Amino acid sequence: MYTNRSSAEEIWGQQARQALRNVQTAIEAAGGTLADIVALRIYMVNYKPEQADAVVSALREFFPEDGRPASTWIGVSTLAVSNFLIEIEATAVLE
């Protein structure tokens, strides 16, 4: 599927950042911010530990270290959209 590890990491990072932008758009449409997110569920196709660096890097771009929500990473065989490698579900508390 990929020619080398760096291109695979790049694709994982791109998809993670896009998923997080989608989460940000949704939370802002509801009147909240990323700081209102208390939990993330991260679904990753055929998850391997070496994919973690790209996803963690994306998370750091969106959440400060002292404000990162709890996260659960779940390896799956496929997602609803076949070319997606990552899906992020967020739980937020809005007051």
At 87, which CATH number?
3.30.1330.40
Question: What per-residue confidence (pLDDT) applies to 4?
Answer: 53
* Full residue range of the structural domain in which residue 82 is found: 5-92
User: What's the average model confidence in pLDDT over 82-94?
Assistant: 95
State the total domains in the chain. 1
In angstroms, the Cα distances linking 37 to 11, 27, 29, 41, 62 are 25, 8, 14, 11, 11
What is the rounded CA–CA span in Å between residue 86 and residue 45? 6
Continuous segment of H or E residues that includes residue 29 = helix 5-29
Task: Please check the confidence at residue 5 and state whether its pLDDT lies above 60.
Answer: no
pLDDT tens string 12-58: 999 999 999 999 999 999 999 999 999 999 999 999 888 899 999 99
pTM, full prediction: 0.89
